[in-house]
């Protein structure tokens, strides 16, 4: 990583591939995702990150300028990687092992996280032979030149680049620009160290009652301020208070709503309001008081604190679940509806959606209860002599100190950014009537090779202040820069068999699909086992592969918190992820076709589902939809069941998974992908546990390609090379034993289950339950055998 110095002027004479202007969280996220694309084989020689402050990484929001303040968003949503939203929480646990996990740690800790990820990016870039420049300097001019842009910095360094990304962060709204330069007036509360000049006994007026105003009031108090603090806004209302709530188990409803209004945008606003209201009523669990307003804002705030303390805020789970889809709702609105929402409903939305941590809420209650903090309904301030006067519904508020904390500025011409003004005047950017600048919804391109991320995309994306959304947008920008087509969110129906490895695969596939912005649905077709008398080896296999999982593991885990486990059961996924999990008696029932249509299922994927699909369901997945089968075994050589042990017995050196289209001949559809790995002579189930990730990767990659409109290369199966394997005969089982092959090792199977599904909290009890069940099964079989 190279920093601005005298040598840089010569070092940067050659054109850069990408320049990212803005070294805060969004800028770092763009860099990280560009490096991910390079790891995947995309060509890029150089990336430059420009930051106008002294250090890249934290930006303003997570720097020492905000010292002492805590995050307002949950730490588990703050990871910088599209496929790991828990990354920050994991980093914090590893970096500070002696600290208790906190949902809202200090902003400065997140700043350290950002710096650490930038350092990781430096090391990765060296390994990848990519030049990563990090320069501290402000861009004062940008001109489009042939093949890209020419940037000039305050230090007179000039940089040529092919691609320019603007990650400029947030801009503070200045409601009273006429007061700039007046003593006692703060157009922004940051850096908060500047507030220390305020005498501790002096009255202070703060314009705003949202998250920033709350931070200001707490900062003043913790600086030892004892004088009156007045928070003033048009609504005169404080935000709701975040509390613990159970996961929202119907998130899929919000995704289906997004698909519905995208396909039928007429009256979308009304339909969205109606559906979310219905879901909020469910989430309120019969208590709608928390989603209604009180005429007394302080009474309402105290009630909100009490509700958060008593975990009576289940409705908040619904609002949180809108994060990945609200931009899709917004995208269906005409500009007139966007204007209506921003003018009439935005303040209310912010009150409920951007609630404050309980820790901060308690501090506010303390300030209110001792009479130091008052909340007013008002708006404009003016200067009278040496004091600022604010007209409110409770009277005229006077104070010698006035702090603006009214939120973000989304008008680029009022942002104070000369760079934005130059690009607007040059026609490279266009003002969006709903705020910010016009960008492509999918790629965030504002014009050719010019991208914008963050608050200046409010008109297009609406919800631009959260790290998780900016990370998703950074990934989209990286896709576009590297030449990949945009990915559209798909609804993927997984038809899952009853065996444990199908379920473990499903767990990993679901988490990966969710991270990529898709919505999985799990369908569990009934499995009708054979009633014929089986050989003991097959009965033992059926017990460990299916019965133990279905009868013991799933009931034991129930809907318990899966934190700390590698995988989840379908019931845990239903609750934790909020996806639809449905048991299906007959996949060919016409009523089930209605389920597929109602939930907009684009891709059906069978994972060892033993029900055969008929014409109706195959026709549903015709055209742009796909019906696929993830088959354990290399096709066409290994059709049928127990293909792994057959490959071992045949002396094959490798084993793999095949992905193929489903037609009425089931296993005979066109092959789309085959991936293999070395074949070892472990017990069959243990080997399957080792290699099922191959199938996971293939399944996820196929969905990703389909979502980008890529054509999956299809190869017709050779019937001459095909072989179908039914269940092995008694002689074949004996032959396997003679050649040192086995189906299952009970002790290793217990370890595999525990490693996959246990948590640190339940592992001991879980192991005892498994061992007891296994011992009981073997005792029963011995008794049964003696009776025979």
Report the percent of the chain where pLDDT is more than 90.
87
Within this chain, do residues 708 and 647 fall inside the same structural domain, yes or no? yes
Coil, strand or helix: which one is 511?
Answer: helix
Is 601 a member of any domain?
Answer: yes
Q: Does pLDDT of 163 surpass 90?
A: yes
Q: How far is the CA of 221 from the CAs of 24, 200, 203, 516, 635, in angstroms?
A: 28, 9, 12, 43, 70
Q: Does pLDDT of 63 surpass 50?
A: yes
Is 774 a member of any domain?
Answer: no
Is 384 a member of any domain?
Answer: no
Number of helical H runs and strand E runs in the chain: 28, 24
CA 163 to CA 19: how far, in whole Å? 6
Output DSSP code: residue 197. G
Q: Which whole number is the average pLDDT over 474-491? A: 97
User: Token pair for residue 385?
Assistant: 């002599």
Q: Does pLDDT of 4 surpass 50?
A: no
CA 722 to CA 634: how far, in whole Å? 10
Q: pLDDT-based confidence at 533, cuts 50/70/90?
A: low
Choose one of 429, 451, 481: the last residue of a domain: 481
User: Token pair for residue 653?
Assistant: 């050196």
Measured CA angle at 237 (ends 236, 239), to 5 deg: 150
The kind and range of the H/E element at 94 are helix 87-95
Within this chain, do residues 463 and 499 fall inside the same structural domain, yes or no? no
Choose one of 424, 451, 481: the last residue of a domain: 481
Q: Does pLDDT of 293 surpass 60?
A: no
Count of beta carbons in the 10 Å neighbourhood of residue 109: 20
Q: How far is the CA of 260 from the CAs of 166, 267, 277, 442, 491, in angstroms?
A: 33, 11, 17, 18, 12
SS3 assignment for 559-604: CCCCCCCCCCCHHHHHHHHCCCEEEECCCCCHHHHHHHHHCCCCEE
Q: Does pLDDT of 2 surpass 80?
A: no
Domain harbouring 628, CATH code: 3.40.50.12230
Q: Does pLDDT of 297 surpass 80?
A: no
Count of beta carbons in the 10 Å neighbourhood of residue 129: 8
Q: Does pLDDT of 529 surpass 80?
A: no
Annotate 251-284 with DSSP letters as a single string: HHHHHHHHHHHHH--TTHHHHHHHHHHHHHHHHT
**Count of domains for the chain:** 2
Pairing of strands 387-392, 395-399: antiparallel
User: Token pair for residue 701?
Assistant: 């990659």
State the pLDDT at residue 515.
94
From first CA to last CA, the distance across the chain in angstroms is 75
State the pLDDT at residue 6.
33
Within this chain, do residues 460 and 563 fall inside the same structural domain, yes or no? no
User: Hey, which bits of 22-157 come out as E strands?
Assistant: 46-51, 131-136, 139-145, 148-153
Q: Does pLDDT of 243 surpass 50?
A: yes
Instruction: Kindly report which listed range (588-602, 666-680, 731-745) carries the lowest average pLDDT score.
Output: 666-680
Within this chain, do residues 445 and 515 fall inside the same structural domain, yes or no? no
Q: Which whole number is the average pLDDT over 601-619? A: 95
Domain harbouring 415, CATH code: 3.50.50.60
Within this chain, do residues 124 and 29 fall inside the same structural domain, yes or no? yes
> Around 272, how many Cα atoms within 13 Å sit in the side-chain half-sphere?
24
Within this chain, do residues 566 and 616 fall inside the same structural domain, yes or no? yes
CA 70 to CA 153: how far, in whole Å? 33
Within this chain, do residues 166 and 69 fall inside the same structural domain, yes or no? yes
User: Which residue do the tokens 């890029």 mark?
Assistant: 44
Within this chain, do residues 138 and 30 fall inside the same structural domain, yes or no? yes
CA 77 to CA 69: how far, in whole Å? 18
Please write the tens of the pLDDT for every residue from 73-128. 999 999 999 999 999 999 999 999 988 889 999 999 999 999 999 999 999 999 99
φ/ψ of residue 388, rounded to 5: -100, 135
Which structural domain range is residue 35 located in? 8-170+410-481
* Contacts for 586 with CB less than 8 Å, ≥ 6 apart: 525, 526, 592, 611
Is 145 a member of any domain?
Answer: yes
Contact 410, 457 (CB under 8 A): no
Q: pLDDT-based confidence at 292, cuts 50/70/90?
A: low
Provide the mean pLDDT of the chain.
93
Is 784 a member of any domain?
Answer: no
Within this chain, do residues 542 and 581 fall inside the same structural domain, yes or no? yes
Choose one of 748, 763, 781: the last residue of a domain: 748
Within this chain, do residues 620 and 723 fall inside the same structural domain, yes or no? yes
Q: Does pLDDT of 527 surpass 90?
A: no
Contact 354, 320 (CB under 8 A): no
Peptide linkage before 191 cis (omega within 30 of 0): yes
Is 394 a member of any domain?
Answer: no
State the pLDDT at residue 286.
46
Is 177 a member of any domain?
Answer: no
Within this chain, do residues 444 and 472 fall inside the same structural domain, yes or no? yes
Count of beta carbons in the 10 Å neighbourhood of residue 139: 24
Is 348 a member of any domain?
Answer: no
Work out whether the CA dihedral 424, 429, 431, 436 comes out positive or negative.
Answer: negative
Work out whether the CA dihedral 510, 511, 512, 516 comes out positive or negative.
Answer: positive
Within this chain, do residues 430 and 543 fall inside the same structural domain, yes or no? no
């Amino acid at each position: 990583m190279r920093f601005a110095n005298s040598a840089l002027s010569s070092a940067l004479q050659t054109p850069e591939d990408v320049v990212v202007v803005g070294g805060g969280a969004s800028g770092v996220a763009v860099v990280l995702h560009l490096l991910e694309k390079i790891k995947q084989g995309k060509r890029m020689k150089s990336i430059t990150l420009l930051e106008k402050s002294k250090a890249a990484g934290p930006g303003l929001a997570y720097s020492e300028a905000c010292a002492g303040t805590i995050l307002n968003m949950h730490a588990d949503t703050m990871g910088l990687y599209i496929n790991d939203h828990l990354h920050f929480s994991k980093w914090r646990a590893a970096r500070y092992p002696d600290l208790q996990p906190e949902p809202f740690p200090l902003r400065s800790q997140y700043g350290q996280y950002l710096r650490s990820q930038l350092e990781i990016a430096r090391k990765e870039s060296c390994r990848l032979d990519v030049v990563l420049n990090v320069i501290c300097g402000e861009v004062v001019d940008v001109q489009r030149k042939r093949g890209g842009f020419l940037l000039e910095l305050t230090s007179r360094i000039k940089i040529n680049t092919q691609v320019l990304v603007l990650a400029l962060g947030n801009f503070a709204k200045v409601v009273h620009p006429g007061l700039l330069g007046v003593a006692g007036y703060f157009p922004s509360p940051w850096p908060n160290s500047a507030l220390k000049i305020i005498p501790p006994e002096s009255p202070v007026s703060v314009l705003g009652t949202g998250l920033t105003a709350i931070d200001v009031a707490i900062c003043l108090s913790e600086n030892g301020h004892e004088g009156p603090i007045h928070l003033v806004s048009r609504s005169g209302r404080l935000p709701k208070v975040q509390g613990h709530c159970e996961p929202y188990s119907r998130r899929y409803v919000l995704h289906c709503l997004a698909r519905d209004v995208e396909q039928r945008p007429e009256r979308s606003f009304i339909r969205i309001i109606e559906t979310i209201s219905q879901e909020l009523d469910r989430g309120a669990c019969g208590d709608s008081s928390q989603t209604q307003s009180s005429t007394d804002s302080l009474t309402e705030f105290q009630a909100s604190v009490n509700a958060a303390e008593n975990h009576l805020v289940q409705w908040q789970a619904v609002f949180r679940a809108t994060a990945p889809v609200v931009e899709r709702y917004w995208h269906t609105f005409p500009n007139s509806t966007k204007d209506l929402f921003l003018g009439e409903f935005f303040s209310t939305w912010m009150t409920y959606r951007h609630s404050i941590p309980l820790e901060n809420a308690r501090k506010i209650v303390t300030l209110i209860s001792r009479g130091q903090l008052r909340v007013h309904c008002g708006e404009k301030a003016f200067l009278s002599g040496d004091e600022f006067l604010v007209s409110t519904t409770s009277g005229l508020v006077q104070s010698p100190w006035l702090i603006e904390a009214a939120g973000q500025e989304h008008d680029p011409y009022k942002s104070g950014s000369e760079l934005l003004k130059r690009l607007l005047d040059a026609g490279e950017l266009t003002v969006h009537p709903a705020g910010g600048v016009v960008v492509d919804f999918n790629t965030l391109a504002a014009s050719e090779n010019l991208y914008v991320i963050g608050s200046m995309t409010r008109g297009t994306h609406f919800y631009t202040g959260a790290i998780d959304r900016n990370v998703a947008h950074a990934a989209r920008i990286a896709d576009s820069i590297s030449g990949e087509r945009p990915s559209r969110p798909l609804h993927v129906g997984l038809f899952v068999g009853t065996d444990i490895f199908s379920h473990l695969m499903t767990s990993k596939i679901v988490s990966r699909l969710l991270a990529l912005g898709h919505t999985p649905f799990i369908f569990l077709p009934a499995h009708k086992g054979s009633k014929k008398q089986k050989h003991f080896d097959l009965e033992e296999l059926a017990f460990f592969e299916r019965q133990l999982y279905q009868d013991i593991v799933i009931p034991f885990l129930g809907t318990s918190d899966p934190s700390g486990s590698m995988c989840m059961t379908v019931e845990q996924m239903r609750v934790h992820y909020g996806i639809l999990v449905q048991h299906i008696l007959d996949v060919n029932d016409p009523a089930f076709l209605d389920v597929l249509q109602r939930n907009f299922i684009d891709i059906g994927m069978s994972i060892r589902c033993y029900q055969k699909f008929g014409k109706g369901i195959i026709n549903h997945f015709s055209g742009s939809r796909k019906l696929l089968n993830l088959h354990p075994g290399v096709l066409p050589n290994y059709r049928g069941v127990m293909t792994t042990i057959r490959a071992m017995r045949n002396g094959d050196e490798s084993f793999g998974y095949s992905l193929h289209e489903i037609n009425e001949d089931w296993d005979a559809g066109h092959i789309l992908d085959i991936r293999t790995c070395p074949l070892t002579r472990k017990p069959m189930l243990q080997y399957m546990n080792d290699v099922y990730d191959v199938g996971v990767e293939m399944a996820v990659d196929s969905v990703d390609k389909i979502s980008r409109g890529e054509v999956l290369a299809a190869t017709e199966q050779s019937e001459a090379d095909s072989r179908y394997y039914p269940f092995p005969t008694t002689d074949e089982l004996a032959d396997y034993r003679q050649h040192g092959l086995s189906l299952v090792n009970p002790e290793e199977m217990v370890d595999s289950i525990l490693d996959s599904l246990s948590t640190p909290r339940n592992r001991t009890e879980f192991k005892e339950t498994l061992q007891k069940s296994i011992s009981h099964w073997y005792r029963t079989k011995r008794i049964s055998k003696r009776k025979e």
